[in-house]
Amino acid sequence: MNTIQAPILGLHHMTAIVADAQRSVDFYVGALGLRSVKLTVNFDDPTAYHLYFGDAIGSPGTALTFFPYADGRQARVGSGQVAVTRLAVPTDSLEFWRERLVASGVRVADAPAGTDPSLAFQDPDGLRYALVEVEGRTTNPWPASPVPAERAILGMHSVEIWSRRPEATGGVLESIFGYQKVQVDGDRTRYAVRDGCGGSVDVVQSDAVGNGGHGGVHHIAFRTPDAATQLALHDKVHEQGLHVSPVMERNYFRSVYFREPGGVLFEIATDGPGFLIDEPFESLGVDLKLPEQYESQRAWIESRLPKLRFPGVTA
Ligand code: ZN
């Protein structure tokens, strides 16, 4: 048995379902100023896009990713789901973001008095976010972003999970991922990564009945440094009696998936090789990239997908 040192480094990416690919591109690139770092298809269903937005290179911990499906119902947040994704922004930038979001037609709300300052908003599909100021986080902003580098979104700060079995959800975070319980406040328990490099998880007791769909988080992925650590984690999940997928090749990282006891789909994703593996930095995220197994069907796949325009990128 390997001794695992900090097997999980924090959050890797978040993946949600949306209704309209172009609307999401316009929002995440045009309004939030993130870069499209990969345009590809859902590897499990090549008739749908998989959109990736992040910092200049989609560094682990910055990527927000989306499966657009026109058909489907609106999601409702309930237990077994990621309810809120919090994004880190530099200190003294919440006012900038308030003005920018309002100017983009987005409704914003302040955190209740007495809690840490944050700015809550929803994306066009109703996906819930909050911006939180953090100090001293290094950044890799996209030079062509419509948002100035000193205000740029720095990546994920934390997620809030609603769970019917909060102790069991927290148990996975502690005993498998190496998170530590750092705060208990009523029904809410905060878990943080041991070395504090970002990506805490709030687990909230909830029996609310929800459903997936447009504006719902499909899964949340956690960072692991390399394939060997990932394999050790895979075995540990299995040993705890949870059903875990084999290691899946996602080209830009490798993934294993399992559903935690509270019902949220967790992914463990490697930091590498990253989004620069199949296209250059300068033109990242604009041309459709297909995994090898679908390349022979490119013409058919392209005919099924709507053409997308990327704000700030001239054709
Ligand atoms: Zn994923």
pLDDT of amino acid 212: 96
Ligand 1 geometric centre to CA of 99 (Å):
31
pLDDT of amino acid 41: 98
Ligand 1 geometric centre to CA of 267 (Å):
6
For residue 227, how many other CB atoms are within 10 A of its CB?
12
Ligand 1 geometric centre to CA of 32 (Å):
21
Ligand 1 geometric centre to CA of 13 (Å):
6
Of 131, 126, 262, which is closest to residue 203 (Cα–Cα)?
262
Average pLDDT for residues 23-47, to the nearest whole number? Answer: 97
What domains, with CATH codes, occur in the chain?
Answer: 10-304 (3.10.180.10)
Average pLDDT for residues 249-264, to the nearest whole number? Answer: 97
pLDDT digits 0-9 by tens, 74-107: 999 999 999 999 999 999 999 999 999 999 999 9
Going across the sheet that includes 179-185, the strands are 108-110, 118-122, 128-134, 81-90, 155-163, 200-205, 188-193, 179-185
Model pTM score: 0.96
Q: Give the chain's mean pLDDT.
A: 94
pLDDT of amino acid 3: 46
pLDDT digits 0-9 by tens, 105-137: 999 999 887 777 899 999 999 999 999 999 988
Ligand 1 geometric centre to CA of 257 (Å):
9
CA atoms within 13 A on the CB side of 305: 28
Better-predicted residue by pLDDT, 204 or 197: 204
Ligand 1 geometric centre to CA of 206 (Å):
24
